């Protein structure tokens, strides 16, 4: 067994080799829930980058769910002689690479219960993770399906975070020097990434590609080629803006293409804005928050199919596209399963929406008006004025009674009134 020690000098034992790459090795350790990454060529730059990451972790969007979404370095690992060797990080178990989730053939074998409703949720979770990373000015850079893990609950974990572009508090940038085909934005294709300081707009392109993979099962820059010669590769198609819904594209939707309008209009708008407007204006690409909002609306308006329990469709489309596709092509990419995961029913959605509304503010009791409290009592009326007012008031009342009595007598109403109400009326009126 190979032994290292952490930053506090405590021993860490490597147990089982899990993976090996050109950069390093991943081992299980004697620390419960922690893996070790050991670099083939550790150096001071790698050490400083990892130290910056350990000191400034991003917020984890699923911390309240006791799930680790961002597999961030936890502690340094050093040799017995004190040299930097690698770091400790969380161990994610019972999860699969994203390829086995979005690809229909792999999904049918590896995760058959994850349907279109589940894929929307996974896409939202991916966008939420990127939102938190960008809040700390961290850039993924090398986004690919192998570095995104998904469990049976649709919870997402991003790994290989030490390859991210990291900027420290003094503005020093530790760049991401690698990229993956199909995820590089057009403005970076054929560029030397090790010399490029990337920004969040580059990651926004990668996010849109990943969400398209999830909701449609294939790369967005694919379709039926109508140009001359052989169709170009992914990076060339991206650089020229060739996708089936591009303005001047040599790709059109093929027979197997899932129409863009089957998704919610807000999701469709994000794709169009990213791959059309964002092709020449990177800052126009939808942000992770834009995607979260669009996907939330899309999830809210998903309806379970009444014929196939594992199907769901957008109410904006109006019918089950997956039934139509299965009837037309003879294959169902979301086949029936036992106890399928279905979107909430309409009444549950309304209840959920009401619970999300902010509470009404409490009504505060109005304070007593200080002005009224300070007013002095009214002085008593002078005796002469009081007698004068009383004498005049009595005279007016007497005259009114005589006039009313005379009017009633003239109109012939006196007898009727006095008969009906009797002694309840003044005596002068009934004489």
Place of tokens 């790994």: 159
Sheet holding 95-97, edge to edge: 95-97, 148-151, 156-158
pLDDT of residue 345: 82
Share of the chain above pLDDT 70, in %: 80
Lowest mean pLDDT among 62-71, 192-201, 359-368: 359-368
List the one residue out of 172, 176, 187 whose CA is nearest residue 141: 176
pLDDT of residue 55: 97
State mean pLDDT over 303-311.
96
Q: What is the mean pLDDT of the chain?
A: 87
204 within 8 A of 285, measured Cβ to Cβ: yes
Residue 308 has pLDDT above 70, yes or no: yes
- pLDDT band for position 284 (cuts 50, 70, 90): very high
pLDDT of residue 424: 42
State mean pLDDT over 345-358.
54
pLDDT of residue 328: 95
List the one residue out of 180, 24, 201, 12 whose CA is nearest residue 88: 12
State mean pLDDT over 392-396.
61
Residue 338 has pLDDT above 90, yes or no: yes
Residue 358 has pLDDT above 70, yes or no: no
pLDDT of residue 359: 59
Tokens in use for 407?
């009017």
Lowest mean pLDDT among 36-40, 152-156, 346-350: 346-350
pLDDT of residue 407: 52
Q: How far apart are CA 310 and CA 414, in angstroms?
A: 89
150 within 8 A of 101, measured Cβ to Cβ: yes
pLDDT of residue 2: 84
State mean pLDDT over 154-175.
97
Residue 326 has pLDDT above 50, yes or no: yes
pTM: 0.80
């Amino acid at each position: 067994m190979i032994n290292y020690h952490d930053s506090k000098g405590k021993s860490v034992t490597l147990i089982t080799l899990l993976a090996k790459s050109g950069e390093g090795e991943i081992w299980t350790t004697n620390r419960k829930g922690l893996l070790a990454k050991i670099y083939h060529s550790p150096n001071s730059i790698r050490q400083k980058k990892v130290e910056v990451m350990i000191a400034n972790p991003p917020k984890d969007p699923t911390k309240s769910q006791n799930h680790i979404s961002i597999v961030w370095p936890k502690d340094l690992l050093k040799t017995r002689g004190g040299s930097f060797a690698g770091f400790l990080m969380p161990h994610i178990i019972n999860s699969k690479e994203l390829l086995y989730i979005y690809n229909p053939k792999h999904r049918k074998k590896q995760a058959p219960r994850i349907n279109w409703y589940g894929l929307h949720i996974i896409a939202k979770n991916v966008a939420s993770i990127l939102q938190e990373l960008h809040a700390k000015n961290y850039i993924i850079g090398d986004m690919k399906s192998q570095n995104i893990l998904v469990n049976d609950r649709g919870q997402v974990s991003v790994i290989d975070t030490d390859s991210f572009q990291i900027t420290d508090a003094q503005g020093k940038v530790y760049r991401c020097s690698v990229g993956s085909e199909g995820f590089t934005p057009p403005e970076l294709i054929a560029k030397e990434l090790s010399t490029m300081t990337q920004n969040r707009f580059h990651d926004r392109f990668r996010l849109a590609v990943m969400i398209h993979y999830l909701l449609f099962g294939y790369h967005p820059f694919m379709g039926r080629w109508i140009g001359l010669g052989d169709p170009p590769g992914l990076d060339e198609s991206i650089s020229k803006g060739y996708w089936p819904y591009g303005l001047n594209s040599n790709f059109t939707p093929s027979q197997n293409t899932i129409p863009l309008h089957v998704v919610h209009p807000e999701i469709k708008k994000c794709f169009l804005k990213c791959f059309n407007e964002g092709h020449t204006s990177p800052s126009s690409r939808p942000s992770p928050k834009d995607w979260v909002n669009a996907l939330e609306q899309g999830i809210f308006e998903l309806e379970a199919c009444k014929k196939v329990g594992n199907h769901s469709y957008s109410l904006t489309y109006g019918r089950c596209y997956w039934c139509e596709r299965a009837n037309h092509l003879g294959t169902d990419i979301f086949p029936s399963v036992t106890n399928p995961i279905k979107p909430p029913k309409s009444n549950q959605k309304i209840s959920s929406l009401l619970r999300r509304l902010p509470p009404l503010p409490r009504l505060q009791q109005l304070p007593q008006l200080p002005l009224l409290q300070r007013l002095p009592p009214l002085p008593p009326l002078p005796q002469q004025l009081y007698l004068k007012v009383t004498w005049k008031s009595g005279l007016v009342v007497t005259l009114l009674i005589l006039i009313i009595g005379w009017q009633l007598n003239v109109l012939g109403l006196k007898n009727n009134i006095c008969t009906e109400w009797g002694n309840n009326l003044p005596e002068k009126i009934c004489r």
